[in-house]
Amino acid sequence: MGVNRCVCKELYFTELKRIADENNYDFDQLQKETDCSTECGLCEPYVRLMLKTGDTNIKPMHPDEIQRLLEADEEVPSSND
């Protein structure tokens, strides 16, 4: 099972992606609009990765791996493909 939502706010990444795509939001704008990642914050790196890759069901990863992917200059392939 992958990480697919902000648990605290019960916001699924599919919905967050739709909102971000429709409004061309970055993370800060998406967070302001939806309140995602404003309670425990554990989903924040996954939401950021979702915005970068378009993947809405992300395998659980060590925080260092997520950070490496977020900092990578190259396009990170989506596992949704």
The structure's pTM equals 0.88
- Helices in the chain by DSSP H: which ranges? 13-23, 27-34, 44-53, 63-71
**Annotated domain spans of the chain:** 5-71
Q: Which CATH code for domain 5-71?
A: 1.10.10
User: What pLDDT does residue 1 have?
Assistant: 80
Gap between the Cα atoms of 14 and 2, Å rounded: 13
Report the chain's mean pLDDT, rounded to a whole number: 92
Residue 12: helix, strand or coil by DSSP? strand
User: What pLDDT does residue 74 have?
Assistant: 62
User: What pLDDT does residue 29 have?
Assistant: 98
pLDDT digits (tens, 9 = 90+) for 21-79: 999 999 999 999 999 999 999 999 999 999 999 999 999 999 999 999 999 976 665 55
pLDDT-based confidence at residue 81 (cuts at 50, 70, 90): very low
